[in-house]
Structure 1
Amino acid sequence: MIRFAFAFWLVLLNAAAADPVLVKSGEHDGFTRLVLEFESPVDWQVGRTDDGYLLHVRNVSPNYDFSQAFKAIGKGRLAGISSDPDSGDLQLAVACACYAIPFEFRPGIVVIDLKDGKPPKGSSFEEPLAARHKPESAKLPVPHYDWAQNVVLDLRAEREPIPQATLAPPPSSDPALQTLRESLLHQLSRGASQGVIDIAITPAASADTENHAPASARIGLGELPGLSVTDGLPTHDTIGAEGQNCIDPERLAVSTWGDDTPIFAQMAASSQGLVGEFDQQDDLILERAIRFHLFIGFGAEAKQLLLAFPGDQPDRAIWQSMANLVDGNPDPQSAFLAQQSCDGPSALWAILAQDNLKDAHGVNTNAAFLAFSALPIGLRRGLGPTLADRLMAVGATDVAMRVRDAILRAPGGAGSETSLLQAKLEMYQGQPAIAEATLKTMVVDPGPGTPAALVALIEAQVAQDLPVDPNIVTALEAVVAEQPDLAAAPAALLLAKAASGDLDGAFALLPTAPETEPKLWRILALLGTDDEILRHAVLPREAAMPASQPDAGPMLAKRLLNLGLADASLQWLDAETTADPLLLATIHLQRRDGRAVVRVLTGENSKPALVLRAQAMQQIGDEAAAALIYAQAGDAIAESRALAKSENWQQVSLRGEEHWKQAASALIQPAASGAAGDGPLAEGKRLIDNSDATLGVVQSLLAQVEAP
């Protein structure tokens, strides 16, 4: 029995030693990150070797899994990674002027950052560390058996459940981890608020404590996605959020369909032996050849293989759809329809296949981004702009920005399509001036992306209310004629004509791009001449208000009001409840509808509103009320004139202008009477003197009052 227990222990030790240590990676700005996830805390050491660095784990010979080591990074910094077959030491070959900064994120997770530049002075990780080779006698661990531990009873006893691992509180004394800690907490909170992750809190193992810990937490420091929290249950990548069957991720693992060797060598090897004896095709080699062509983005060639070598492979429909999508062709009968909510790579291809997605509901944008980041860089550059367009269309602009970043992180030129994507994102972020600068560079340096850049340049200039150079209009006319499949070109041509001053020509093109009508009316309001306003903005009586941008209607209403067309102006305003009260009141005042002015300005007490209300009262004929409102508005001159029109001479003599005060006083004061016993000549002279005084006051008043 003791021999059985001893053998069983040896088997357990060998099985534990065989558990793989997954090596993940991520490319970041200025450094490359490696993450090693051990099953339990380890005692580790990092030092220099002749060609890089070495990680030694004491008393353990890890079995490293490198399947994902180069999944998200190139070989610009990390040229190679391997493990010593004897000691299990991890060897890192470095191909850059960079240095290693290792740290333990938490027990069992070791992180190694390869950073550009020179290492800090005194760094212990720059000390030489030679690979350790185990002697033959040490290759098979022989455990020490302690008879006092009663091993047989322990094996028979019921095994206690292993407590769940908890997240230890991060050390506050290490400033190097502060940025990482804050980033993790931010991403965790953001994911929980968006419903992307669930954080379950369960009681701690001890019943008499109030401490709680997450049920299960796994933190990935790789490039994508950066954080994962789970309840420990198995994932179901083949079942979508709506219960549909999702395509198995293994069938869409595009990154495994090729490698880093030269393309010409892979292409020759991919189809070698495709046709054998008696012209019989080899289905396995056919599958390898089709997948390789998709790996390098040769969709048309992959379709040619499917056509030339018919068969009954279960993935033929998937390959056919992928071939269309990597070439940028529409795929209405795609094998990926209704897959956009899946958790695997099929969500990416479903988004690419459908250009009619309206919102992000039911679209797994995070899964699509993860699948996109795992694609070869050639496919990322080719599919990234289309994917970003789809994501922006459903409102996932933040994910679209991550798509752009995943392209820009790779070495080499990103291409014109990525520059165009950058400009579109700048437009979405409300920075049309920056987008215009990016697009002008593309237009000045002609290339395959010039027509699309020209179209986007018009959108950027129109967004800034800038005039368009007539030469650009001529160039766009050539684009529309030569590239009828460029869907956005007709709309850009219409807007370019309008912004260049040819509004009549723009309205003539409106049937070809009806979606531009709201912008066209705004350009008319900003740049149109009075004649063009009269030709296009004066609508037939009872006509409905055209589709326009929110500020275009009020601007056109003001233009028509200045031309004296109050009724035509009124047609460009929404209902009274949403229109600007002051503008609406001004229109009603010009229409001589004073009561409508008073109704519209109910509750408005600003000085312009009070002045309009007073003018409305004058239209109604209530000069006394108008005078009171002018006084409330602080307009003494208008108040004085309203009092004069109301013939309230007593108030005019007290509150009116000086010349009005004199006239009012002459009217309300009795004429000077003569002395008792004056004769007719004296009385006549007195009347003449009073008349002369009154005439002088009237002449002074007329000299100072403006003619109506």
Structure 2
Amino acid sequence: MMLRIAALLVLIAGPGAAQTALLRSGDHAEFTRLTLPLPADTSFALTEGAGRAVLSFAGSLQEIDIAQVFERIGRSRLAAVSAGPGPVLELDLACACPIETTLAASNLLIVDILNGPPLELGATEPAAPPQSQALPVVSAAPAPLAAGPVPPLVPAPRVATRLSPQPAPILLIGRRLSLGLPAIDPLNPTLPAEFLDSAAMPPEPDPSVTASPPVPSIPPVTEVNLAEAARPNAPPSARSALVETPAVSLPVVPLPRATARPEAESLVATIPGIPELSPAEARLTRELEQNLLAAIGNAATEGLLQPGPGSNQLTEDQRHISGGLSDGTHPDPGLAATPSTFGPDSPDGTGRIVLSGNPCALFMSPLAAVEGMDFIPELTKRRSRLTGERDRDNVAAYHDLAHFYLLYGFGPEAGSVLASVQQPPREAAEMSSIARILEHGHDPEPTPFAGRITCDTEAALWAALAPAQIPPGSDFDGDAIKRSLLAMPNSLKAVVGPLLAERFLDAREEDFAREILRIVERNLPGVSGRQALAEAKLATADGPPDPEAFHALIAQNSDVSPEALLHYTNSVLGHGGVVDAETIGLLESYRTQYRDAALSADLTRAEIIARSASGNFPSAFELYDLQREKLMPEVQEEIVNGLARNLAGQGSDAVFTRLYFGHAAEIAAKGGAGTLNMVADRLIRLGLPEAAAQLLENEAEGEAARTRSLLRARAALAMNLPRRAEAELGGLEGEDVMALRAEARLAAADFGAAERLFSDAGQTEAAAEAAWLSRNWQGLREDPEPARARLAGVVTTQQTQPVILPEIGPPTLAASREVLSRSGETRAALRDLLATVEVDPPADP
């Protein structure tokens, strides 16, 4: 019994050992992928040649099914594929494409055919030619007089004859290229019998007979010089010779289907026997091509052309092709033709005529109010249509649901629906941008509405909301924006209207913002929180904010409360005010509540700056240290710059020294040029010139550069380096520069030069001190200080009128009286001078 069961199992498993694998395919933007599931005991080997690749397999794999290969891919990279016994998979390539093979974990063989240059003529390995005969060379032009009799014409059968899919030879007849098609009378459209016999499909070969592959025949190449006869000013004799020129057969140029135009031109350009055009002929040819394309474009724009079968809508299978780009065979949904002959191209795409109509028109359906629409039933009905037959996605239903969400102002929901399935690209781009606007208040990604704010359609409204800020003075179509806003349903109008008002208020368009708010007030029964916020901003646009109006919004604890608090804080700080402790506490509370939202960074920034403006520098720096990693680099630079500036201008010496040296490296790296100059000035005044010099090492620009040079000179003087100070002042002019040069001279003991420089700088007191040190008593006699001028007069008198005492013997009575008189005057002058010196009283023990 067991032996019978074993024999039965062997009989059942025997046929299953010979397995058949299905070869699947898919096109991508940069490669074509083939996948083949392999049995566990199967191995493969890849052999590559010029334009050809062979995959051989060993194992239990017996047959490869290639029936579905070209259902989803074109022939731009893979021209043909065949499977042979062994099994062997032969790939004929349409380009010099590299091939990469990968074996996945599930034993799935992945073959990627990458992009490559076109194949050179003659570089491909000769493949087995078709068993049918080559097409005959038949001219489409009138045959010469010396030609033989025309073959008899027979009616063309419509069912029994099929044309063979082989490339037709390229012919040169006079100056015209022919694809090997015979001349056909339009009144009697019949084909010669010889042509039909040669073009018919060959009979099925007998598998029992092994036929040797025939040697492919290449038509002979004849060089014909037709340049002289083809010129516009050629004589009649040359033109008649051109008519009598026999047909010249050129070699076959294999152009695979969907070959790009540059590659096709490069292949055809290598055909021998065609002389190069002269510059005049090339110009005339280009003008003819441009005029022809322009005429076709104008006819298409005016609706005079009927679309061909290739422009039909995509099938359901084509819409489910993975990837957002075209696969080279099927066009993208909504692709529009833009002929380049209408005008020169520009980087931004302007200057081109789009055949699809007005560039200001929206590709998506307008967001206009619909009467009698109930939200819940309509939402249920639209969601029920998302899945079609066999659980396939209904693309149109997804599009309709996303549009429905936008009508009611649900931006995140609409964006999620649009991202679920592939949509027509231009409509999806506009709807996704609107969804992001409704979610974030602006579009943080590149938007299709850029540059359309002056349009007279609904695009102007979304173009105004797409950027985070409208530059002041920008042109816009106000009538189109108001008209589009009026056409919206109230649910969407309640969201869009206040956003528009705030956007134009920031752009210094207060009057237009008021008009927007009036439209919202007339159409909505109540006042929403965002509408109240926009009205509060507009009421205090030219001055400090109204605390009562904003405090009422802040106290509501609604969705707009943190925005109201943020705007109030920034407005107060922007007008030089100080935020009270209660407002700072609210900032801290909302920062904690919205710690995971994008608004958290703005609340943190406002709280740090508010604490710094109130003089609480330790708390401000501590909060910054805690939240540094959550802030963007540009926000960090702004906060550090403001903290350092306020600290240098308002902080006490102890607080400044402690906080600066705790954040010196960060302040030096992120502080602005003006802020660093303020900090360096504070360091110099505190007697820390070395730290100031280190902070001022980098160069600055503009007015900050001059201030930095003066600070460097002051730091050098504080370090008793007068020569370095003068070097820092090189090339500068001004009274402040003269004063520093005078101090440098004074430090170098050049008192006379210091006195002159101080006088030129207008510093009389410093000039008098330099004159005192240089003993310029004559100059000090005009000193505005009376005590100093009196002493200078005494000294000058003694120098100009000295008392002459005898060398031997007592002085005369007159000399004694003169000395005594001058002695009293000297003592009085010294007494007055000493009286001007202030001496601090001694401290109590």
Who is 1:25 aligned against? none
Who is 2:507 aligned against? 397
Q: In the alignment, is residue 561 of structure 1 matched against residue 697 of structure 2?
A: no
1:453 to 538, 550, 564: 564
Q: In the alignment, is residue 660 of structure 1 matched against residue 788 of structure 2?
A: no
Q: In the alignment, is residue 503 of structure 1 matched against residue 503 of structure 2?
A: no
Q: CA deviation at 1:407?
A: 3.3
Q: In the alignment, is residue 700 of structure 1 matched against residue 829 of structure 2?
A: yes
**Which structure carries more relative contact order (alpha carbon 8 Å, separation 6+)?**
1
Q: CA distance change for structure 1 residues 503 and 250 in 2, over 3 Å: closer, same or farther?
A: closer
Who is 1:532 aligned against? 655
RMSD: 5.4
2:406 to 287, 294, 299: 294
Letter in 2 for 1:512: K
Letter in 2 for 1:456: H
Q: CA distance change for structure 1 residues 345 and 571 in 2, over 3 Å: closer, same or farther?
A: farther
Contact between 1:296 and 1:379, CA under 8 Å: does it hold in 2? yes
CA distance in 2, matches of 1:503, 1:662: 62
Q: CA distance change for structure 1 residues 687 and 612 in 2, over 3 Å: closer, same or farther?
A: farther
Who is 1:493 aligned against? 607
Q: CA deviation at 1:479?
A: 1.7
Contact between 1:389 and 1:400, CA under 8 Å: does it hold in 2? no
Q: CA distance change for structure 1 residues 628 and 648 in 2, over 3 Å: closer, same or farther?
A: same
Who is 1:417 aligned against? 530
SS of the residue 2:707 aligns to: coil
Who is 2:496 aligned against? 383
CA distance in 2, matches of 1:366, 1:481: 40
Q: What does 1:416-495 align with in structure 2 at a 5 Å threshold? A: 416-421=529-534, 431=542, 433-434=544-545, 439-483=550-594, 484-485=596-597, 486-487=599-600, 488-495=602-609
Identity level (%): 20
CA distance in 1, matches of 2:655, 2:824: 54
Letter in 2 for 1:529: S
SS of the residue 1:467 aligns to: coil
Q: CA deviation at 1:521?
A: 2.1
Q: CA deviation at 1:539?
A: 8.1
Contact between 1:503 and 1:528, CA under 8 Å: does it hold in 2? no
Q: CA deviation at 1:681?
A: 4.2
Contact between 1:290 and 1:319, CA under 8 Å: does it hold in 2? no
Q: CA distance change for structure 1 residues 425 and 668 in 2, over 3 Å: closer, same or farther?
A: farther
1:670 to 795, 802, 806: 802
CA distance in 1, matches of 2:382, 2:558: 40
Q: What does 1:275-286 align with in structure 2 at a 5 Å threshold? A: none
Give CA deviations for 1:531-561 in whole Å, capped at 9, x if unaligned: 2211233489999833335643343333333
Q: CA deviation at 1:649?
A: 3.8
Q: CA deviation at 1:596?
A: 5.2
CA distance in 1, matches of 2:382, 2:802: 128
Q: CA deviation at 1:322?
A: 6.8
Q: CA distance change for structure 1 residues 595 and 369 in 2, over 3 Å: closer, same or farther?
A: farther
608-617 or 361-370: which moved more?
361-370
Q: CA distance change for structure 1 residues 409 and 518 in 2, over 3 Å: closer, same or farther?
A: farther
SS of the residue 1:629 aligns to: helix
Q: What does 1:269-418 align with in structure 2 at a 5 Å threshold? A: 291-299=403-411, 317=428, 321=432, 324-325=435-436, 327-328=438-439, 337-342=447-452, 343=455, 345-346=458-459, 349=462, 369=481, 373=485, 375-384=488-497, 397-398=507-508, 402=512, 405-410=515-520, 411=522, 412=524, 415-418=528-531
Q: TM (normalized to structure 1)? A: 0.50
Q: CA distance change for structure 1 residues 585 and 376 in 2, over 3 Å: closer, same or farther?
A: farther
Q: CA distance change for structure 1 residues 326 and 693 in 2, over 3 Å: closer, same or farther?
A: closer
CA distance in 2, matches of 1:654, 1:289: 94
Q: CA distance change for structure 1 residues 600 and 439 in 2, over 3 Å: closer, same or farther?
A: farther
Contact between 1:404 and 1:418, CA under 8 Å: does it hold in 2? no
Q: What does 1:593-672 align with in structure 2 at a 5 Å threshold? A: 593-595=721-723, 598=726, 600=729, 604-606=733-735, 610-633=738-761, 635-652=763-780, 657-672=789-804
Contact between 1:618 and 1:626, CA under 8 Å: does it hold in 2? yes
Q: CA distance change for structure 1 residues 331 and 612 in 2, over 3 Å: closer, same or farther?
A: closer
CA distance in 2, matches of 1:623, 1:593: 16
Q: CA distance change for structure 1 residues 439 and 458 in 2, over 3 Å: closer, same or farther?
A: same
CA distance in 1, matches of 2:549, 2:673: 29
Q: CA distance change for structure 1 residues 493 and 437 in 2, over 3 Å: closer, same or farther?
A: same
CA distance in 1, matches of 2:590, 2:830: 71
Contact between 2:369 and 2:489, CA under 8 Å: does it hold in 1? no
Q: CA distance change for structure 1 residues 383 and 249 in 2, over 3 Å: closer, same or farther?
A: same
Q: CA deviation at 1:657?
A: 1.0
Q: For structure 1, which runs of at least 5 residues remain unmatched after alignment?
A: 1-232, 234-238
Letter in 2 for 1:498: S
Corresponding pairs, count: 455
Q: In the alignment, is residue 512 of structure 1 matched against residue 630 of structure 2?
A: yes
Letter in 2 for 1:564: G
CA distance in 1, matches of 2:605, 2:831: 62
SS of the residue 1:628 aligns to: helix
CA distance in 2, matches of 1:333, 1:692: 92
Who is 1:66 aligned against? none
Contact between 2:368 and 2:489, CA under 8 Å: does it hold in 1? no
250-259 or 480-489: which moved more?
250-259
Q: What does 1:41-52 align with in structure 2 at a 5 Å threshold? A: none
Q: In the alignment, is residue 523 of structure 1 matched against residue 634 of structure 2?
A: no
Who is 2:370 aligned against? 258
Contact between 2:803 and 2:818, CA under 8 Å: does it hold in 1? no
Q: What does 1:221-232 align with in structure 2 at a 5 Å threshold? A: none
SS of the residue 2:568 aligns to: helix
Q: CA distance change for structure 1 residues 571 and 346 in 2, over 3 Å: closer, same or farther?
A: farther
CA distance in 1, matches of 2:692, 2:418: 64
418-427 or 556-565: which moved more?
418-427
Letter in 1 for 2:519: R
Letter in 2 for 1:704: L
Contact between 2:739 and 2:757, CA under 8 Å: does it hold in 1? yes
Q: CA distance change for structure 1 residues 354 and 696 in 2, over 3 Å: closer, same or farther?
A: closer
Q: For structure 2, which runs of at least 5 residues remain unmatched after alignment?
A: 1-341, 343-347, 839-845
CA distance in 1, matches of 2:665, 2:580: 38
SS of the residue 1:456 aligns to: helix
Letter in 1 for 2:630: T
SS of the residue 1:657 aligns to: helix
Q: TM (normalized to structure 2)? A: 0.43
CA distance in 1, matches of 2:725, 2:652: 29
Q: What does 1:126-145 align with in structure 2 at a 5 Å threshold? A: none
Q: CA deviation at 1:670?
A: 1.7
Q: CA distance change for structure 1 residues 414 and 614 in 2, over 3 Å: closer, same or farther?
A: farther
Q: CA distance change for structure 1 residues 695 and 270 in 2, over 3 Å: closer, same or farther?
A: same
Contact between 2:755 and 2:766, CA under 8 Å: does it hold in 1? yes
Q: CA distance change for structure 1 residues 272 and 625 in 2, over 3 Å: closer, same or farther?
A: closer
CA distance in 2, matches of 1:605, 1:300: 61
Letter in 2 for 1:409: I
Q: CA deviation at 1:346?
A: 5.0
Q: CA distance change for structure 1 residues 547 and 462 in 2, over 3 Å: closer, same or farther?
A: farther
Letter in 2 for 1:256: A
CA distance in 1, matches of 2:376, 2:640: 51
